[in-house]
Structure 1
């Protein structure tokens, strides 16, 4: 969903709630920030649901709660007079804060389970189920505490929730069973690859600020340089040169045994581009995946600078289907392997942006390999204007066809999957989609809901018809497009009259502000953290009170800070047992710093207990994968020394240490300096 669509949601919800509440007397001013925060959380949950990659039914069940919260906020606004006494009560205010915390947890949980990398934070599917049940229970309790009567029909909803959980978790288990063998190698390096990609990004950022650059830490980002003398001419055979004009892609022997493709770099200026160097460096990492074409480096051959990649004997998938008919059973295997490649990229936060048969290379053993990463970028990277995509419009998702392009963030996982669906169509029927249409006709056709025709061909083999039906079903799901006027529960723009005068049930109401002001406001957690950073004794006392108050309302970040104060004795009293308990609770709610701290508390127990050692590693890895700098530094040192149960791997250890050092971790920087001095 594009940022334009986000703004439509915000107008519909915010205008209906915050705008009218803002017209009320300052008597309920303490509630306005809370209502605003809750409204924004609802918007975020809706947005997550719209862009969900996986576990969509579970996310939809969470969205039902967001809808109820939205309706409750609107009802509260309409019934301000009836709620006058409630607004004056401390317990009601505290309940509102708890409601905000529950919605924050729901938002974070939904964000995790709906993308592959986030889902991997959960060790087992039972953790997803337990967390879902816990959050929905907390939501129902919060609704009751606020006297909101718009609850879901418990028995029926519980039944629907169980169905959603069962179906989604079964689908995810089946997906991971099929996919896992293709997106991780036997050493399960996917997390390490993600760290390497992030390291390159951080190095580029650090290099842009020369005053802070540390030569051995940052340095030049570039691909491996391969000396020309490492290549030999192979025995000539048909297909050794590819392309329609010079410079051609040529086959060479690399290090006597490896067949490689040497693709000329047309513009010498590209070699000096930091963006191009970063792209090549990342390509070298991505080649660790079985379904991504392996990139070896760059060299200088036949008067050209060249990119050296593995040789795919049969060329690209488009060339293959133009020369041969591909059996339906083989199309299924190709589809699964291509899906593995896309899932791998998704796992390391990269979108390909150009999924089509021409960008799938096929080896001698019919293994597909994703290639041509010209448009690829990190998930958070800027998307591009449609003018850059006119040659690939046949595979583009509708949101990428918007006249004038889309704003930053407009390309989502759905966009990638839509292109994958069009690739499947191309593979099934062995031709380019919308082949006889020009790009303007294609854009109009697709934006208005048009799609290529699906039909079952008459085949001789008995299973072919069933295979085709399955593939057609997948294509139908992948190319579905939700138009802006079809978003969940929203009306077309300008449907509501939001202009003055305010309707009678929204008119301004005066409360007894003297009584209301007796309520003790709870300091926002962010303010408590800011006070802690001042290192002033009085401020830290206020921060401690803030952490306790927010922790009592169930806020996991506040629990972490409360535990941290008890661990360090900042409140004047050390209590390591309670601190450990709080770290564990916050860690299980996904707080990275808490996961690191809890792992640290297990160090002594891990020396004598295999279970505690395993638990320590799980929490430590999870913290590092979420970007916790201390965890990255600790894992880096562990790999460097072969301690804490990690195998010794100095190369990987240095990469983790660099990640931490580039974010200012002093311990990591010292270890790197010592290692560099050897």
Structure 2
């Protein structure tokens, strides 16, 4: 049997807990809230107070996940509703501490409460996964999502019964509604993945690893304080930029943008000021350039090649868009020469571009037709990323008069206010702007044209919008409804970008099912009447309101490395018999394995998957207790099936050269792939090794091998970096290594 090296088996799995992306209330802060209660509560109640603090934080996180969910909104809503019921029960328990004092004295009730805390965290992590494509990718099949949803639902109902919480346990009718919600969500996400394209998916409609690469690069950019390190790799030698052989009237669009030739393709060179790299402005520009470079795989994002010098001036080099901006195009084109079929196609292109940005945790901040460029074959691409920021990055104070007509009302409402009164720019703001872009594209003019900034502000804040003047046929009714949904005044009622895409795509499939280039005489959707619609008139159809309702290489034998993974901090103060899991991990690191083992064993009995993994680890290595690798393997599998990436990698390698454990190649690959897709760098390195070298009889797959190798290298896996460099030296296309 071929050998596979295992490097850093115990390295941290990035995806085990994705909550780093969510701003949460400190558990310590919440605990302080209950400090006075501890002084007056009976001794029996005290162990429960920190548990209630953890529950409060976790429920807050779950609510935030639901509010920001980009996918599977119905599924998230079903879990959200259960959690809200639990929240009410917890508040009632707090208020009636005296009445429940006897219950608080029962050990089994305390342990049931611990199980409840662990369950809420499992629900939180599940929702974080299914609500975002990056996390959804962890589930190899839709059935795995449905299975986990059903499992968590059943565990929730069972735990509520054990705690005697007065909540409505799922009835058969509710279970049927839940099944329908899960089915509809999974149908929608399948439809989305089959049609979105644009760099979000691969040719076979699988979620692209590019999204994760960009997210990792974004985090590195945010943490970097060296402009030299960020921008050194994007310099294009001036001699590689040439004047185009053919001359065209639009070679010079304005004083700052001209057409050049770079590596046998047309490019646009745009003059820009490059501040001193040691200044804050210099670092900001360097970060902007790095962001632009990282987005080059987005097929509806204008491609950025790098910077250079032309005629003594600093320039940025972009993909050339022959037809200029979408605004320039619609202003120069008669309505009869710009049919709905083409407008809808371009609207979908822009939607794909925004979706790509949102999936990579970026916001454009200036969505309008002026910032959309058209290629010669009528592909619309997002451009002008000067204002773009990550989801959690602070917005830059700017003069907003140019794009005020597209600005969401929640941002208009705080214009000129002090920082403490400002509201963040979110995806919902972007959705609003996109709704105005759709109107702009349909009418071929700037929204609120002729109105002053103050008039626009007053108009929008009075919950008024633009009017619609077009033939109100079936197509236009559908398009109008989408616009109205996108520009709703209440942010939470606006659809997500994926929901907008599905609706627009449905329109295309219904009225213009044949995909064609614009060099044709397009069909015209049927019209029945001319109408002027405003926001003040009744809504057309339903709105999206219902969407609410590890270290060294060894052979196949696993190493005895003593470097454990990090786990999330669990803030509670249980009775003496059960210490918090993080305290057990600390004891392990300090060499107090007796204490650690007691902790892991106790939490494992309460079905905590991380504790189950740790118990398996101790049984595998023979720490404190006698080695029992058969039982350890069973525990690894149990934790693996609950989504613990390190357990998935461990279980895969349990089957390799382990006495008494049968090797199963399909199962080995299944769990190795799960661990890799769950973010474990060691799993990614080993999986790449399998694909690149055809180990274990697995057919070679260079593309997949390089993909996993890049992801491992981005997480600073040293052997992955070495292998990529070796492959590049052999002429293998491994992409840009400068960001790794």
Specify the TM-score bucket, using the shorter chain as the normaliser.
Answer: 0.7 to 0.9
Q: Rate the CA distance shift 1:531–1:634 in 2: closer, same or farther, 3 A.
A: same
CA shift at 1:336, angstroms? 1.8
Which of 180, 183, 198 is residue 216 of structure 2 equivalent to? 198
Counterpart residue number, 1:533: 589
Secondary structure of 1:241's counterpart equals: coil
The structure-2 alpha-carbon separation of the partners of 1:638 and 1:77, relative to structure 1 and needing over 3 Å to count, comes to same
SS at match of 1:253: strand
Q: Which residue of 2 aligns with 1:611?
A: 666
Matched, 1:415 2:471: no
Going from structure 1 to structure 2, the CA distance change for 1:231 and 1:637 (only over 3 Å counts) comes to farther
- Contact map agreement 1:291 1:341 (CA 8 A) in 2: yes
> For 1:27, what is the secondary structure of its paired residue?
coil
Which residue among 80, 83, 94 is the counterpart of 1:63?
80
Quote the Cα distance in structure 2 between the aligned partners of 1:481 and 1:201.
Answer: 32
**Structure 1, residues 256-315: CA drift from partner, whole Å, max 9, x if none?**
x31111111234547983443343234233222221111222221122221111111111
Q: 1:621–1:378: structure 2 CA closer, same or farther, 3 Å change rule? A: farther
Residue of structure 1 in register with 2:237 after alignment: 226
2:637–2:648 CA contact under 8 A, matched in 1: yes
Distance 1:638 1:176, change over 3 A: same
CA shift for structure 1 position 98: 0.8
What's the counterpart of residue 368 of structure 2? Answer: 356
Map of 2:306 onto structure 1? 297
Shifted more, 335-344 versus 13-22: the winner is 13-22
Query: Secondary structure of 1:143's partner?
Result: helix
How do 1:233-382 and structure 2 match up within 5 A?
A: 233-243=244-254, 246=255, 248-255=256-263, 257-267=264-274, 269=276, 273-324=282-333, 325=335, 326-380=338-392, 382=393
Whether the aligned pair in 1 keeps the contact of 2:323 and 2:374 (CA below 8 Å) is yes
How many residues matched? 615
Residues 593, 614 of structure 1: CA spacing in aligned structure 2 closer, same or farther, 3 A cutoff? Answer: closer
Looking at structure 2, the residues matched to 155 and 601 of structure 1 have their Cα atoms a distance apart, in angstroms, of 41
Name the SS of the counterpart of 1:92 in structure 2.
Answer: helix
Higher mean displacement: 323-332 or 448-457: 448-457
1-structure distance, mates of 2:358, 2:191: 18
Long gaps (5+) in structure 2: 1-21, 495-572, 731-740
Is 1:86 aligned with 2:100? no
Say if 2:447 and 2:466, in contact at 8 Å, map to a contact too.
Answer: no
Give me the whole-angstrom Cα distance separating, in 1, the residues matched to 2:96 and 2:437: 53
Matches of 1:422 and 1:602, distance apart in 2: 57
User: Structure 2: how far apart are the matches of 1:658 and 1:153?
Assistant: 46
- With over 3 angstroms needed to count, the CA separation of the structure-2 counterparts of 1:207 and 1:75, relative to structure 1, is closer
Question: Partners in 2 of 1:19 and 1:391 — Cα distance?
Answer: 53
Aligned to 1:37: 54
Match of 1:425 among 417, 439, 458: 439
Structure 1 gap ranges (5+): 211-217, 460-464, 487-516
User: Does structure 1 conserve the Cα–Cα contact (< 8 Å) formed by 2:47 and 2:575?
Assistant: no
Give the equivalent residue in structure 2 for 1:73. 90
- State the alpha-carbon separation in 1 of the partners of residues 265 and 729 from structure 2: 36
CA drift of 1:128 comes to 1.8
2:230, 2:286 within 8 Å by CA — same for their partners in 1? Answer: no
For residues 276 and 642 of structure 1, what CA distance do their matches in structure 2 show? Answer: 44
**Displacement of 1:418 after TM fit?**
2.6
**Distance in 2 separating the partners of 1:570 and 1:677:** 44
Which residue of 375, 386, 391 maps to 2:402? 391
Contact 1:57–1:165 (CA<8 Å) still a contact in 2? yes
The offset of 1:38, in angstroms, is 0.8
Question: How far, CA to CA, are the matches of 1:612 and 1:79 in structure 2?
Answer: 50
Look up the match of 1:660.
Answer: 715
Tell me the SS of whatever aligns to 1:457: strand
Name whichever of 266-275 and 471-480 sits farther off: 266-275
| Alpha-carbon distance between aligned partners in 2 of 1:297 and 1:86, rounded to the nearest angstrom | 66
TM-score (norm 2): 0.74
Output the CA distance in 2 between the equivalents of 1:307 and 1:390.
26
| Separation of aligned partners in 2, 1:453 and 1:298 | 40
Residues 185, 289 of structure 1: 8 Å contact kept:
no
Say if 2:178 is the partner of 1:166: no
SS at match of 1:251: strand
In 1: Cα distance, 2:721 partner to 2:170 partner:
56
How has the CA–CA distance of structure 1 residues 660 and 50 changed in structure 2, closer, same or farther, with 3 Å as cutoff? closer
CA distance in 2, matches of 1:8, 1:672: 41
Q: What is the alpha-carbon distance in structure 2 between the residues aligned to residue 270 and residue 320 of structure 1?
A: 37
Q: 2:339, 2:187 → 1: CA distance? A: 29
Higher RCO (Cα < 8 Å, 6 or more apart): 2
Say yes or no: does 1:570 pair with 2:623: yes
Q: What does residue 543 of structure 1 align with?
A: 596
- Kindly indicate whether residue 535 of structure 2 is the aligned counterpart of residue 480 of structure 1: no
CA offsets 1:643-671 (integer angstroms, 9 cap, x no match):
6756447976774454333xxx5656777
Partner of residue 630 from structure 1, selected from 645, 662, 682: 682
Cα distance, 1:579 vs structure 2: 2.6
**Other-structure match for 1:522:** 578
The answer as to whether partners of 1:14 and 1:39 remain within 8 angstroms in 2 is: no
RMSD: 3.9
Query: Are positions 1:598 and 2:607 aligned together?
Result: no
Q: 1:424 offset after TM fit, Å?
A: 1.7
Shift of the 409–125 alpha-carbon distance from structure 1 to 2, 3 Å rule, reads: farther
Give the drift of 1:556. 1.9
Q: Distance in 1 between matches of 2:138 and 2:450?
A: 46
